[in-house]
Amino acid sequence: MEVKLRILRYNPETDSKPHYEVYAIEAEENDQILDLLNRVKWYQDGTLSYRRSCAHGVCGSDAVRINGVNRLACKVLVKDVGRKVTVEPLLGLRVIKDLIVDMEPFFDHYKSVIPYFVNDEPAPARERLQSPEERARFDDTTKCILCAACTTSCPSFWASGEYVGPAAVVQAHRFIYDSRDRAGAERLELLNDRVGVWRCHDIYNCTNACPREIEVTKAVGEVKLAIATGRIE
């Protein structure tokens, strides 16, 4: 079948503003949208710029807007979206070129929540033990691949890029609820801030956008509750 692929293009060296270009592509119904982008780049217009790596929903590098919804281009098939497909860069981050956005502000927020394991107690002889129940407590948020689909679908983030955003809260949640970690209170203090979790108004765009099906809004709610009660449970 022929698919009409409409892509929002922008070259900062030649364009004053973004514009759409339409490409006709031969496709199978099980082709990924990433396959279509590759076909444009490899056979029609080598100047098209976008990020991709694994092509299997693991690296998180190809998050874009597909027909107005944040998705990974490698996880959406032609049969999911039909013969007219519009691909645009994520909202809320500066476009560098075509579908490539500046991820630095996103990763600055990520880095701000201490997204790593902290425990200064003497190391045990073998390992820091954890029960299956304790491990299960943060199972959902440990699935995050940092694709930014959640944060860039959030109206609070669109309103102000200062908001730390749901992805950073998910990363904080993953360590706050790890029974072996000792920096939970510090992370909660960081997130109990003017630009922290209270900017979340439970709109659920983040949960709907997450390609890993993480319950993002629930995780943000649990962090809010921990701040409000002073208890990490």
Where along the sequence are the contacts to ligand SF4 (CB under 6 A)? 60, 144-150, 167, 170, 209-210, 212, 214, 216
CB of 91 to ligand FES, least distance (A): 19
Amino acid at 56: H
Binding mask 96-135 for ligand FES (x = CB under 6 A): ----------------------------------------
Q: Which of 59, 69, 91, 203 binds ligand FES (CB under 6 A)?
A: 59
Strands 63-66 and 69-72, sheet pairing: antiparallel
Rounded CA separation 35/53 (Å): 12
Rounded CA separation 33/71 (Å): 10
Q: Which of 6, 41, 55, 179 binds ligand FES (CB under 6 A)?
A: 55
Q: Which of 62, 98, 181, 222 binds ligand FES (CB under 6 A)?
A: 62
Residue that is written with structure tokens 């390992």 in the block: 127
Q: 104-112 vs 166-176: helix axis angle to the nearest 10?
A: 30
Between 32 and 112, name the residue whose CB sits nearer to ligand FES: 32
Residue 63's DSSP bridge partners are 72
Between 56 and 182, name the residue whose CB sits nearer to ligand FES: 56
- Alpha-carbon torsion, ordered 191, 196, 199, 205, to 10 deg: -80
Q: Which of 60, 92, 105, 184 binds ligand FES (CB under 6 A)?
A: 60
